Amino acid sequence: MKTFKHILPFLLALLVLAGCEDDVTYKQGAAENPDCYGVYFPKKQATRTDLEFEPGTQTEAIYTVKRRNAVDPIVVPIVVTSNVENIFVVEPIAFEAGEDETTFKISFPGAQMGTTYTCDISIEDPRYASVYAPDKVSLSISLVLAKWELVTDEKTGETKGRYRDDILGNFASINNPNANPNPEIQLEIYERSDKKGYYRMKAYTPELMNIFAGGPVNHENRGVWTYVDATDPEKVYYPYQSTGLTLFPEMGEWFIASQTPENFAMDGGAGQYGTLKNGVITFPAQSILLEPSEGESAGKFFYANAHGLQRVMLPGARVYDYSVALTKSEPADGVVKIGATLSKDTREFRYAIFAGNLSDGEASLKAQEMADGKIAAENIETITASGTISVQDLKEGTGKYTLVGCIYGAGEPNPEGGETASENLKMQGYAFIPFGYVAKGDKVSVILKVGLESTNEFAGQGITSDNSAKFWAYGEGIESLKYGVFKTKDIKNVDLTTFLQQNGEVFSPEQLEAINSGHYSVMLTGLNGNTEYTFAGLAYNGYVSTLVKATIKTTGKFNPGLESEFLYTDFLPQDKQPKKEYLISTQWNYYAINLLDKKPMRRKIGTVTIADDPKDDSSADLLTITGLPGVKFDKGGQIPAVYVPAASPLAGITGAISPLLSQTPIGTINGEEILSGCVSDEKPDALYAVNYPFIGGAVADGYIYFVPTPNYIEQGATFRYLYTLSATAPYSILTDMLLVDPAKDMGGIPELAEERIADLRRMAAELRQPRNYVERLEYSASADRSSVKPLPTNHAKGFLPASAPEAKVVEATVGFSEAVQHAEGAGSELRFRKTAAAKVTLK
């Protein structure tokens, strides 16, 4: 079963403000009583402290008390204060000798409906309660008797609303492609009969948690009510309350509250309230706070609702979508095409075109001016459906412009039925898009020069022409640059423009400023020797984009061990794959990443030997692999395998060796039977027992790397992890498995990029959970491998500031005219005399 992973809040804990006085005189406190019983109220109580019952359903509540000194039998003296006398009856708190926990009962037989009662129970005697320990020595209880009515839509009779969460995903995540960080469920919502707008609902249910995690997940859930106070539709808030959830034992149960004066000591104007409009309750981003009840974070409040998506919809409510998505083409033949996609609730989009590249704030002001009638009507166009706006014949000519439009909709259904008339539509928002326009006959080119240079400028730091290259660029007016550094052989059949648009790294504003201001230079490190690399960049100047490239080949010798990972397309041709005799006769050095390591890095796991299967009575060349799980067995430990060229199901597959994984134990460790299976990227919670999950093939002479089998990738299962485990615990989770002939091992196993380490750690946390085989996937020899096209690896990861590029000699054709003065009195002037053009070399 899955478990959650921590997410550190991106904002530091918000501390609750408390009043303080000036000129406080401090006095030495009383000493702690050495015989103190240390009685306290644990924060986590089985019974809520904010009690709400329907009249006649319950007249008492039971709470827990603990103590640290349990030697004597005691009755604890308490002080009880309440806002209304003779409502609460508190029975004595008594401990038997040796008893460190007990319970006591509070009764309230005289409580009346609609009144809120409060009761504080305190332990003040220092003989019974610690003076200085952090233990909680008081218990505050509130009680209200009220009736709750199911909220029902009067028009449709609908009895279920919707609840969407944007709290849990701010603090916990799970590695599951089916997980939803903003889960939403249908649920019944109740309203207090004596307090209209005060709602409760069972929000954090197993259903919501399963949607959040993408399946069953380990957590504690008490199934408590969630309360929302919308008695004032303009000041909606969450009262301080428990979610009933414990996702991480060290954090305890999670409590939530809106950041409002009702919950915290703060100025009334600083409250961040939600709103209730047309049956929909929403909250501003970061207006909800979360408090863990245990551990180092206990008592601290962290911002939640990070994306502002927390929402409650009452039965029958509808969320209106007023939006317009705008796209732009590059100018062609004096025309720029603006695509406009109107949402289903958008009735009209009224737009105008303004000179200049407007910011969001400037566009907002122009939209408001349009809505207020301050822009001439003849300059405003209106569309009522999605389509393409063709912009041409701009009077200002070539330049930067911005299309700004106001979004209009009805806002709510027409009470008389039918569509709302155009003049009665309301502005619901705005949209804008800057674009560059090139008039017909004009031409605007991207001005950008890039290059790669071989240098030993940093050889003293181990950065040489064998493993690095200097990249430089300079240009004018570059607004964006998406780029990558690839092995030239990997991009021969790649549409680089499309690839960079979707997957390219992005130059930062600071880097673009350097390019536009003079030059930008960095050392690209972590390259391999004797390898040709290409820098490819898609540059945009606000008008058009262009692809720029530069190529360089590193010096030295190619070291396969320096590659962070290989692809199936990196395999050598089949005629250069290892023969069976070579596989068997070599004791291979074995490198891999074990996700169970504290810091997952590729390291030497041990050695691997390959042998003929002594029980082989099939037509295929069956082998056994010893050492592949990377653990020491007391008995056994061999994994069956096939020699790829002799395995008919693998016909057409390039490679040398492929393991066969089954549900049969491969050996024993400490008396436990050990199994080996595989795990896919797509379903990390499933353990598979399949034939041919990986193909081991030569990527260089003496180097065999295991990649996911292409046929399974086509079936939606990218097997990348060899999982060895017992019935109770995992023993190893290996990936990036590399066998190297010791006689050809060049060493130099690389450090992994930090983002790769982070990904591996996330996957490790997911895969550590003990599991049994739950999946069986049949190998399909007929799977179409033509669509399995791995993306080229971007090697633009290691940057080091570098000096400016060396000034180069260039050739140019130039002309010169000598100034000649004609002495014709005071009115003489300088005139130029033409000379012949000459081809010269400039330095």
Q: What is the pLDDT of residue 598?
A: 80
Q: Name the band, by pLDDT with cuts 50, 70 and 90, for residue 514.
A: very high
In terms of C-beta density within 10 A (0-12 exposed, 13-18 middle, 19 or more buried), how is residue 399 classed?
A: middle
Lowest mean pLDDT: which of 143-147, 331-335, 340-344?
Answer: 143-147
Q: Name the band, by pLDDT with cuts 50, 70 and 90, for residue 798.
A: low
Tens of pLDDT, residues 180-230: 999 999 999 999 998 999 999 999 999 999 999 888 888 899 899 999 999
Question: Which residues, in sequence order, are bridge partners of residue 383?
Answer: 349
Percent of the chain clearing pLDDT 70 (strictly above)? 85
Q: What is the pLDDT of residue 414?
A: 55
Tens of pLDDT, residues 811-836: 667 667 776 554 444 443 434 333 33
Instruction: Give the pLDDT mean for 735-740.
Output: 94
Q: What is the pLDDT of residue 808?
A: 63
Lowest mean pLDDT: which of 388-397, 400-409, 558-567, 822-831?
Answer: 822-831
DSSP 330: P
Q: What is the pLDDT of residue 189?
A: 98
Contact 166, 182 (CB under 8 A): yes
Cα distances from 624 to residues 636, 666, 732, in angstroms, run 11, 11, 19
Report the C-alpha dihedral over residues 803, 804, 806, 808, rounded to 10 degrees.
Answer: 170
Tens of pLDDT, residues 273-319: 999 998 999 999 999 999 998 888 888 899 999 899 999 999 999 88
Q: Which of 266-280, 564-578, 613-627 has the highest mean pLDDT?
A: 564-578
Q: What is the pLDDT of residue 807?
A: 63
In terms of C-beta density within 10 A (0-12 exposed, 13-18 middle, 19 or more buried), how is residue 643 classed?
A: buried
- Provide the token pair at 730: 């995992």
pLDDT > 70? residue 839: no
Q: Which pTM was predicted?
A: 0.62
2 vs 545, higher pLDDT: 545
Contact 315, 422 (CB under 8 A): no
Percent of the chain clearing pLDDT 90 (strictly above)? 62
pLDDT > 70? residue 114: yes
Q: Name the band, by pLDDT with cuts 50, 70 and 90, for residue 800.
A: confident
Tens of pLDDT, residues 632-670: 999 999 999 999 998 888 999 999 999 999 989 999 999
DSSP 491: G
Q: Which of 144-148, 226-230, 303-307, 730-734 has the highest mean pLDDT?
A: 226-230
Instruction: Give the pLDDT mean for 593-612.
Output: 90
99 vs 827, higher pLDDT: 99
The overall average pLDDT reported for the chain is 86
Q: What is the pLDDT of residue 200?
A: 96
Q: What is the pLDDT of residue 810?
A: 60
In terms of C-beta density within 10 A (0-12 exposed, 13-18 middle, 19 or more buried), how is residue 24 classed?
A: exposed
Residue length of the chain: 843
What does the longest C-alpha to C-alpha distance in the chain come to? 126
Cα 181 from Cα 168, distance rounded (Å): 7
Cα 310 from Cα 282, distance rounded (Å): 6
Report CA torsion sign: 18, 19, 22, 26. Answer: negative
Taking the mean position of all CA atoms in its chain, how far away is CA 167? 15
Q: What is the pLDDT of residue 685?
A: 73
Taking the mean position of all CA atoms in its chain, how far away is CA 628? 33
Q: Name the band, by pLDDT with cuts 50, 70 and 90, for residue 562.
A: confident
Q: What is the pLDDT of residue 229?
A: 97
767 vs 131, higher pLDDT: 131
Lowest mean pLDDT: which of 2-6, 45-49, 391-395, 698-702?
Answer: 2-6
Kindly write down the DSSP assignment for every residue of 416-449, as one continuous string.
TSSPPPGGG-EEEEEEEEEEEE--TT-----EEE
Report CA torsion sign: 645, 647, 650, 656. Answer: negative
| Residue located via tokens 């409250």 | 271
Q: Name the band, by pLDDT with cuts 50, 70 and 90, for residue 805.
A: low
